Structure 1
Amino acid sequence: MRNVIKVVAINSQSHCLFVLPNQSKLIDKTTTIHFGFQKMKVACKQLNTLKENEIGLSKTVIDKLRLPLEAEYELAIEKNRIIIGPFIGLLIANYQSELREKVKYLKFIIRQYPLVRGVIAAFSLEGMDEKNAKINGPIYNPTSRRWEKRTFPFPTVIIKRMLLSTKRQNDLKNLYGSRFFNSAYINKWKMYQLLSLNKDLIPHLPKTYLYKKPEDILHYLKNFRTIYVKPLSGLKGMGVEKFIAKPNIFCVKFRSDKENKTIDFFSENELLNYVRAKFKSEKYVIQQEIDLEIEKNHLIDYRIVLIKNENGQWEDVGMVGRRGVEGSVVSNRSSGGKVERGETLLLSSFNLTNAEMLSYRQKMSEIAIKAAKELDKYESIYKYGIDIGIDRHHHIWLIEINNHAPNDHIFSHVGDYDTISKIKNSSMLYAKYMAGFPGNRDSQ
């Protein structure tokens, strides 16, 4: 059968699937139709009046499945089982009263629907009737190009696009497994613990410790001479401070109000008093310094974006380089850093040949993907922004893995809008794969 099909309602007293004679050999005489969590056993019959891109279903089957007829579908045919889809749900609100307003922010669906097809539904927690396995909410109608109120089964896949309580999140994880995604957030300490379980990644991880008491900072500062203290859940380099132990003095460097700041302490007690006032226990990590000052007074690091593609595989979609503002303790653009083409910055900052640059770029990608695959063992995440650095000795370091809404638009600063588009499409294409419709699926 062709990939794209329309479902036609047929008047029949029995529960039947109707196909053209040349298609009937693909389908068992009796099979089960699946649409989201709803399913129904049907008998397969031939019907000559159907078009090449149509299948027929008895009206009783359509009603039971709550199957919208306006949509364009694909079929995944397995032994004794046919999946009509994809059927993707977007969890966007707590209450039904919020849906109309929040659906306005789903304009990307109109652009992406031809890539995905099937049924895309938006819903709230309040709209979920778990007892009867149905949901009330709007679905996208590709014919009218509008969102229309419907009642539908639980979808095959859910993309979370809102904050959830731990209990509700765990309930949906238990129900859907990895098909409930965009649901995890891993803080810096948990991330370090998980990645440290892979012996191949340990050489690329800066030593990291959970801050529990002020004396911890003093202890690791004496050990490493320079350390970073970072918020457990910080973004965009905010709240990062660099501690330096010098003869007879301790220095703390940070960014504030778009300026570099330095505070000097002349005794351990002065330093400890500052730490007590500034940092809360178990809300920060302490990290050894990686020397990324490849150019004098400028930190240089790189952001690699990984997505899970339409075939469920991790894909490195691109890299940018970041040159920190002079004297800054972070390289982030939000702190004044400059975004440059990654390969160009890698080539020039280390004075590499093109072949050497490509070799390092490949190694960086391999390490990033290895880290993402390790995290797959614990959480269902489809996109990472991986901050990666190369020190003066050309050693590659995994500085941070951003899994909470990494900035898709970072590539706009180097004019790479094709990559932005690919990243933005990735969640729906990965959802389509998770619903049983991979991108490389052969036509049936």
Structure 2
Amino acid sequence: MYKINIDHSTSTVRLPFHSKKYSYLTHTHVNLTYGIQEYRVFVVLDPSLSDGEIIVSANIIEKLSIPLEPLFDLKVLGQNGIKIGPYIGILAALSSEKLSRIVSSLTSYVHHYKQIGGSIIAFSLEGIDKKNQVIEGYLFNPQTRQWIKGNYPYPASLFSIVEANLTDKWQQFQSIMHHFKSELNDSVYNFPNFDKWDMYKMLKNEFHQHLPETVVYQSPLTIIEMLKKHRSVYIKPMNGRLGRLVYKVIKTKNGAIVQFGGRRREQDRYFSSKKQFMRFFYYSLKNDDYLIQQSISLLTYKQRVIDFRVILVKDHKKRWKILETVSRFGADQSIVSNISSGGRAEIAHKTFTERFHIPIELQKDLFQRIHNLVLNSIQKIESNGYHCGNIGFDIGIDQNFHLWIIEINNQNPDHYIALSANSAPLFYQARFHNMIYAKRLAGF
């Protein structure tokens, strides 16, 4: 990597004399690219420079708004170009105020900065000037490990970690991300997004044996029709997450039990009257915003429902990599397994070994089946035009050890589940892979 220093010559880039790979570009004019900008420069090999230093004229620094704090890689673009970078953007918040509060937590993405390098900026929806292609945000300074507020040009690649779907910023988010795709082409990932119903429609033909039967909620009669086929069902928001606004309905001999509210068991309701049952859901749910899903008898441990989060990321070679499978234990008698609803997490190997005493050879077969299902499913989803790079894949395992696809989180899978499972290295590894995939998309 190179540290940039300034001189006051005109449109010149001076490289170390020992940089033989750039020798055929010396004493010639080439295009220097930073982010999505480029500028014509004159390249010179300078024997007075150390191997980790380059000199860039002040007018180039000003024209391309190149910061001096980062360490950069150089890449030759054919016979007449050099790219400096990587330059990666993280859309991290919906508002500038929220960004200012959370920006320090984003340092986890650059925990391994020496392996990433370049400019890393974090920004919000409010910080984008589309007309001038300028972003107000924060640049990571690797020397002080602080984030510097300022105005910066568009990056070469970016990914989103915001969750705009349940907010009034959803349309603005869509507009901004489509804008970036038009400017950066295939260098934007975690967009477009798909919801639970999109997922079901994409996978149901090839993976129907691994999908709970699912229908769109139209009216309380839709629930009654599903209960004729299944003893119990879940009702979930199409775009919901963290186990919020989830209902479980259990058919009884003389009516139905409705469970909701996570651990707040006092909110369970028993309905013996069909009219009261329909009235409850008529006022609780909005048409087309919810799905009704067949309930699966999942593995439990001490009355805690368990499912499994597969942490799936792309690496610097654009290949999917399964980092780990983590068990999620719901709170005692909770209808969901989410950590935010009182659950806990541990590494799945420990769960299978210490809770269920599954022999190692059988575990290998089980993990292989999980990995095959996950990778084949993601391949199908990407064939439908979704550019994913960071996925949280939730797998259920029933009492017969059959695998079920519960959900695929593609907006912002929560890497903090690794910390809940007491694995800080896994947490940093997941975020590192997000960055090196973005680095590859940026051309490095």
TM category, shorter:
0.7 to 0.9
Alignment match, 2:89: 89
* Root mean square deviation of aligned Cα: 3.2
1:364 maps to: 370
Equivalences for 1:53-202 in 2 at 5 Å?
53-80=52-79, 81-92=81-92, 103-108=103-108, 111-123=111-123, 128-135=128-135, 137-143=137-143, 145-148=145-148, 151-160=151-160, 162=162, 163=164, 164=169, 165=172, 166-196=174-204, 199=206, 201-202=207-208
Question: Could you say if the C-alpha distance between residues 391 and 157 of structure 1 is closer, same or farther in structure 2, counting changes exceeding 3 Å?
Answer: same
Q: How many residues are aligned here? A: 432
Aligned partner of 2:389 among 382, 390, 408: 382
CA distance in 1, matches of 2:185, 2:85: 19
- Residue 292 to residue 151, structure 1, CA distance change in 2 (3 Å): closer
CA distance in 2, matches of 1:261, 1:334: 18
Q: Structure 1 residue aligned with 2:236, among 227, 230, 245? A: 230
Q: Which amino acid aligns with 2:363?
A: M
Residue 102 (structure 1) shift: 5.9
Question: In the TM superposition, what are the counterparts of 1:229-268 in structure 2 within 5 Å?
Answer: 229-255=235-261, 257-259=263-265, 262-268=268-274
Write the letter of the residue equivalent to 2:114.
P
2:78 and 2:5 map into 1 onto residues whose CA distance is 23
Q: Distance in 1 between matches of 2:379 and 2:288?
A: 27
Using the alignment, how far apart are the partners of 1:273 and 1:224 within structure 2? 21
**Contact 2:110–2:116 under 8 Å retained in 1:** no
Aligned to 1:440: none
- Look up the SS of the partner of 2:317 in the other structure: coil
The CA deviation string for residues 118-141 of structure 1, in whole angstroms up to 9 with x for no partner, is: 122344556544444444555333
- Residue identity matched to 1:353: P
Superposition deviation, residue 276 in structure 1: 1.6
Distance 1:391 1:138, change over 3 A: closer
Post-superposition shift, 1:360? 0.4
Name the structure 2 match of 1:221: 227
**Cα distance in 2, alignment partners of residues 416 and 21 from structure 1:** 43
User: Does 1:38 pair with 2:46?
Assistant: no
Aligned-partner Cα distance in 2 for 1:126–1:331: 34
Partner of 1:415: 422
Matched AA of 1:61: I
Separation in 2, partners of 1:264, 1:410: 34
Distance 1:129 1:15, change over 3 A: farther
Which of the numbers 391, 404, 411 marks the counterpart of 1:397? 404
The alignment status of 1:7 with 2:15, answered yes or no, reads no
C-alpha distance in 2 between matches for 1:8 and 1:423: 33
Could you tell me how far apart the structure 2 residues matched to 1:121 and 1:330 are?
36
Q: Once the two structures are superposed, what CA deviation does each residue of 1:227-254 show, in whole Å capped at 9, x if it has no partner?
A: 2111222323233222233434333333
Structure 1 stretch displaced more, 73-82 or 174-183:
174-183
Which sections of structure 2, spanning at least 5 residues, go unmatched?
A: none
Q: Distance in 2 between the 1:150 and 1:380 partners?
A: 29
Q: Is the 8 A contact 2:89 2:157 kept in 1?
A: yes
The amino acid of 1:281's aligned partner reads N
Q: Distance in 2 between matches of 1:99 and 1:338?
A: 28
Question: What is the letter of the counterpart of residue 402 of structure 1?
Answer: N
Unaligned runs of 5+ in 1: 438-444
TM-score, normalised to structure 2, is 0.84
SS, match of residue 71 in structure 2: coil
Instruction: State the match for 1:442 in structure 2.
Output: none
Seen in structure 2, the aligned counterparts of structure 1 residues 223 and 92 have a Cα distance that, compared at 3 Å, is closer
Structure 1, 89-98 or 177-186: larger mean CA deviation: 89-98
Supply the distance in 2 between the matched residues of 1:94 and 1:327 (Cα, whole angstroms). 35
Tell me the TM-score normalised to structure 1 length: 0.84
Distance in 1 (alpha carbons) for counterparts of 2:350 and 2:57: 60
